[in-house]
A and B are shown apart, each in its own frame.
Chain A
Amino acid sequence: MNAITPASHLETAPKSGAEILLQALREQGVEVIFGYPGGAVLPIYDALYQQNDIRHILVRHEQAAVHAAEGYARSTGRVGVVLVTSGPGATNAVTGLVDALMDSIPIVCLTGQVPTHLIGNDAFQEADTTGITRPATKHNYLVKRSDALARTVHDAFYVARSGRPGPVLIDLPKDVLIAPAHYEPASIKPHRSYRPVTEPDPSAIAAAVRVLKRARKPIVYAGGGVINSGPQASRLLEEFVTLGDFPCTNTLMGLGAFPAADPRFLGMLGMHGTYEANMAMHGCDVMLNIGARFDDRVTGRLNAFSPGSVKIHADIDPSNINKNVAVDIKIVGDAGRILRALIDAWRADEAPQDRRELAAWWRRIEEWRALKSLRFTQEMSPDAVIKPQHAVQRLWEICRDSGRDTFVTTEVGQHQMWAAQHFRFEKPNRWLTSGGLGTMGYGLPAAMGVQIAHPDALVIDIAGEASILMNIQEMGTLAQYRLPVKIFILNNEYMGMVRQWQELLHGSRYAESYSAALPDFVRLAESFHATGLRATKLGELDEVISRMLAEPGPVIADICVDKGENVYPMIPSGAAHNEMILGPEHAGRTASITDEGMMLV
């Protein structure tokens, strides 16, 4: 220890590293940790056992711990915390970390590590965790001394939540958790190197307003950055869109940032977005992208993306700007502050809008909207096969009518797209899906995290029968903590999105995409102390949904749906926004997909 000890250190007696860690977590406002114990983290579990401030939720797999923390973070706006052991504990967490990185979710992941003197010796349950997770995290740390522990934890929370949020990992060798040191409170000094810009440049704001005021065919394209900025940003988005009478579309990550019931909402854009959203993106003369990143699922073929429009890109991460699409005006900052500044500048700018041109643009959009690109045909006899779109639509209607605060998570695949298309969100933080990484197995653990944060809310995982099996072990966690999560499986006995691409692009050769030897989901639910329900025909659907919602505990509802249904509309790989396939009647158009398009995922 240093000969000179700062005064603040004198006030407290030395504590073990594990106790220092918990004190730092408490100072950071942590109430819940999602974790799984193991040899390297036993000192932390011992410290957790001796206190009551921080609650630990025991998951059944480390990947699920990270997804649960993501669900907690996304539904509350707080940092989610994960605790796993060394070696396999850490490697199992990697998928969740990359998921959080791609979707900009603030996570602090604590991993155990073998003691410092064994690092590099291939010790039992040793892995080079900081090496493995360097490209999987926003930042990571290996703590080598107990007296650096508190400072590192404070730094990690700052990095995780500041700027573009993301996952941060702290690797904790076992000796560091045991050795005594003095606690160090969080510093109020600015970070030595990481100080992201949050306040937008007024000249960029003025330039954007000038262009938007004169736009004849404007569009606002808002993404997850608006949600990450906090609920206030969503209110400001609504205010700004209303002010300019702009059409507004959301990315998959942005759903809920703008109320779905607002007539200015065009729905989701992109590969499975609405016709009106994509056509408006293609035909606009001014585009304001706020908090989105021109992802390939959104843009389609880049060289045909929204030709001729003036593009304004507002993002908190400067590296997102001019990455995929060259833009004309860049605004770096926090989405909420940018929207506040845009509203103020709009009001201060006295130039009138060309309302006649704008009305003509809206008439054009209404023509596109009249095509009802999300339409589907549900035969209405009680014995009819359930269409998956109808199942989601009824689920949404019944949830809405229940008046309960509803959160929806999803797995990945066709059901995810149908949920995005047919479940409608009026508020932010209510829709949680794995957008960037596309992680099957995300929905159930994410729903657990949401339910922990919102014990009285209705939390539904809209799932597929293939995805749900990827983290089905979390049914045990639901049972242990009596989490009343509702799992709504659209069961078509196929990895539906794989099957759809095989049908459209690979001559209907369904290689390995059939879900053979499925479990009986009703009995599976029962074996995990939950309720199992099943609907096999239309006449049973509403009853099953109502019973699912009425049930006080966790439920799996196995909804047996049409096995051949595909997700439409669709922009095929390598196509432009104005080359959408609207339904099976246009599926032949995929024949024109070039080899170049085939190479895209």
Chain B
Amino acid sequence: MPDTTPALRDTTHRSATIAVIVDNESGVLARVIGLFSGRGYNIDSLTVAAVDDGGGLSRITIVTSGTQMVIDQIKAQLDRLIPVHRVADLTQQGPHVAREMALIKVLAQGENRVESLRIADAFRARVVDTTTASFVFELTGAMEKIDAFIELMRPIGLAEVSRTGIAAIARGTSTI
């Protein structure tokens, strides 16, 4: 008797960062998003951009969550889309770097203005725009770091947030 597959019967949820290489053609993002909404999968983050010089391929990075069985299903369903070239589960394949960029507008005056700059300094956020009553900070890092920064800015005068979503790549020499 072969080993049964305990991983598939595991009901614990995990997060997965999936990279998908697709043809850069109209409708391809709609296919991916439609797949997730149509089959009831979660999207925690999704980014897409052309990644080769010829403009022929795009890379979609999706952060999703589910049981192992669901995540395997998501990968198989993605791989089945005709314009999809490759699907890679970065979380499963080993260490990877996952980064997000955020632009955060804070309205602050007086002591709050100073405090916001102190926090920004601690997070290595850059000021990319300023008026006497506002700052726009640019911050890059892991999702959790940006979450933490936003929470600290909230009482100070957080006004608006724009986040890019996660871009991710494997560490080391391996490529997808």
Residues of A near any B CB (own CB < 8 A):
130-131, 134-135, 138-140, 142, 159, 192-194, 207, 211, 310, 317-319, 321-323, 326-329
- Contact pattern, B 68-110, Cβ under 8 Å of A = 1, otherwise 0: 0100110011011111110000000000000000000000000
Asked if residues A194 and B72 are in contact (CB atoms below 8 Å), the reply is no
Jot down 27 A-B pairs with beta carbons below 8 A, ordered by A.
A134-B27, A134-B31, A134-B34, A135-B34, A138-B82, A140-B27, A159-B82, A192-B23, A193-B22, A194-B82, A207-B2, A211-B1, A211-B2, A310-B1, A310-B2, A310-B4, A318-B80, A319-B73, A319-B77, A319-B80, A322-B5, A322-B8, A323-B76, A326-B5, A327-B5, A328-B2, A328-B3
Q: How far is the CA of A310 from the CA of B38 in the complex (A)?
A: 31
Q: Roughly how many angstroms separate A317 CA and B77 CA in the complex, as a whole number?
A: 9
**Nearest 4 CB-CB pairings of A with B:** A319-B76, A326-B8, A139-B82, A193-B85
Alpha-carbon distance between A317 and B23 when the two chains are bound, in angstroms: 21
* A140 / chain B contacts, CB cutoff of 8 Å: 27
Known contacts A310-B1, A310-B2, A319-B80; A134/B8 CB under 8 A: no
**Is A134 in contact with B30, judged by CB distance below 8 angstroms?**
yes
Complex contact A322–B82 (CB within 8 A): no
Complex Cα distance, B22 from A322, in Å, reads: 24
Contact A329 B72 (CB under 8 A): no
Residue of A nearest to B10 (CB): A326
Answer yes or no: B26 CB below 8 A from chain A CBs.
Answer: yes
Residues of A within 8 A of B34 (CB): 134-135
Chain B 40-84 against A: per-residue CB contact (8 Å), 1 yes, 0 no?
A: 000000000000000000000000000001001100110111111
A101 CB to closest chain B CB (Å) equals 12
The interface residues of chain B lying within 8 Å CB-to-CB of A139 are 81-82
Chain A residues in 8 Å Cβ range of B85: 192-193
Q: Are A322 and B31 in contact (CB under 8 A)?
A: no
Q: Are A131 and B30 in contact (CB under 8 A)?
A: yes
Contact B5 A193 (CB under 8 A): no
Minimal Cβ-Cβ distance residue in B for A156 = B82
Q: Note all chain A residues with C-beta closer than 8 A to B84.
A: 193
Q: How many angstroms between the C-alpha atoms of A135 and B8 in the bound complex?
A: 27
Task: Report the bound CA distance from A322 to B3 in whole Å.
Answer: 15
Task: State A299–B81 Cα separation when bound (angstroms).
Answer: 27
Besides A211-B1, A326-B9, 10 other A-B contacts (C-beta < 8 A): A134-B30, A138-B82, A139-B81, A192-B85, A193-B23, A207-B2, A211-B2, A322-B5, A323-B73, A328-B5
What residues of A have a CB within 8 angstroms of the CB of B38 in the complex? 135
Residues of B within 8 A of A211 (CB): 1-2
Q: Which residues of B contact A (CB under 8 A)?
A: 1-5, 8-9, 22-23, 26-27, 30-31, 34, 38, 69, 72-73, 76-77, 79-85
Task: Give the residues in chain B near A131, CB-CB below 8 Å.
Answer: 30
Contact residues in A for B72 (Cβ distance below 8 Å): 322
Chain B residues closer than 8 Å to A329, beta-carbon distance: 2
**Smallest distance from the beta carbon of B20 to chain A beta carbons, Å?**
11
Note all chain B residues with C-beta closer than 8 A to A322.
Answer: 5, 8, 69, 72-73
A332 to B75: give the CA distance in the assembly, Å.
15
- Which residue from chain A places its CB closest to the CB of B7 in the assembled complex? A326
* Closest Cβ neighbor of B6 among chain A residues: A326
CB distance from A207 to the nearest CB of B (A): 6
Q: Which of A138, A322, A327 has the most CB of B within 10 A?
A: A322
In the assembly, what is the distance between CA of A207 and CA of B3, in Å?
11
Q: In this complex, what residue of B is CB-closest to A317?
A: B80
A142 to B77, CA, bound (A): 22
Q: Does the CB pair B26–A326 fall under 8 Å?
A: no
Cα(A367)–Cα(B23), bound, Å: 57
| Residue numbers in B under 8 Å from A323 (CB-CB) | 73, 76
For residue B8, which residues in chain A have a CB less than 8 angstroms away from its CB? Answer: 322, 326
Assembled-state Cα–Cα distance A207/B9 (Å)? 21
Q: Shortest CB–CB separation between residue B9 and chain A, in angstroms?
A: 6
- Which A residues lie within 8 Å of B9 (CB)? 326
* Identity of the chain A residue whose Cβ is nearest the Cβ of B84 in the assembled complex: A193
The CA of A130 and the CA of B5, in the complex, are separated in Å by 39
A166 to chain B, nearest CB (A): 10
Report the bound CA distance from A134 to B72 in whole Å: 22
Distance (Å) between the CB of A108 and the closest chain B CB? 14
Q: Which B residue's beta carbon lies closest to that of A207?
A: B2
Residues on B with beta carbons closer than 8 Å to the beta carbon of A319: 73, 76-77, 79-80
* Nearest CB in chain B: distance from A268 CB, A: 27
Q: If the complex has contacts A211-B2, A319-B77, are A326 and B82 also in contact, measured as CB distance less than 8 A?
A: no
* Bound Cα distance A517, B59 (Å): 58
Structural contact, B5 and A318, CB atoms closer than 8 A: no
> Smallest CB-CB separation from A311: which chain B residue?
B4
> Whole-angstrom distance from the CB of B163 to the nearest CB of chain A?
27
In angstroms, Cα B1 to Cα A245, docked, is 20
B27 CB contacts on chain A under 8 angstroms = 130, 134, 140, 142
Identify the closest chain B residue to A134 (Cβ): B34
Contacts of B4 in A (CB 8 A): 310, 326, 328
Q: Complex: how many Å from CA A192 to CA B57?
A: 11
CB distance from B144 to the nearest CB of A (A): 31
B82→A193 contact, CB < 8 A: yes
Contacts of B22 in A (CB 8 A): 193
- Taking a contact as CB atoms under 8 Å apart, the answer to whether B73 and A193 are in contact is no
Residues of B within 8 A of A193 (CB): 22-23, 82-85
Name A168's closest neighbour in chain B (CB-CB). Answer: B82
Distance between Cα atoms of A159 and B85 in the complex (Å): 14
Closest beta carbon of chain B to A31's beta carbon, Å = 26
Give Cα distance in the complex from A317 to B76, angstroms. 9
Q: Which residue of B lies closest to A321 (CB)?
A: B76
Cβ B82 vs Cβ A142 within 8 A: no
Taking the closest CB of chain B, its distance from the CB of A58, in whole angstroms, is: 31
Q: Taking the nearest CB of chain B, how far is it from the CB of A474, in angstroms?
A: 31
Considering the chains assembled together, what is the distance between the CA atoms of A329 and B4 in angstroms? 9
Tell me how far the C-beta of B55 lies from the nearest C-beta in chain A, rounded to whole angstroms. 14
Alpha-carbon distance A327/B83, docked complex (angstroms): 28
A192 to B30, CA, bound (A): 20
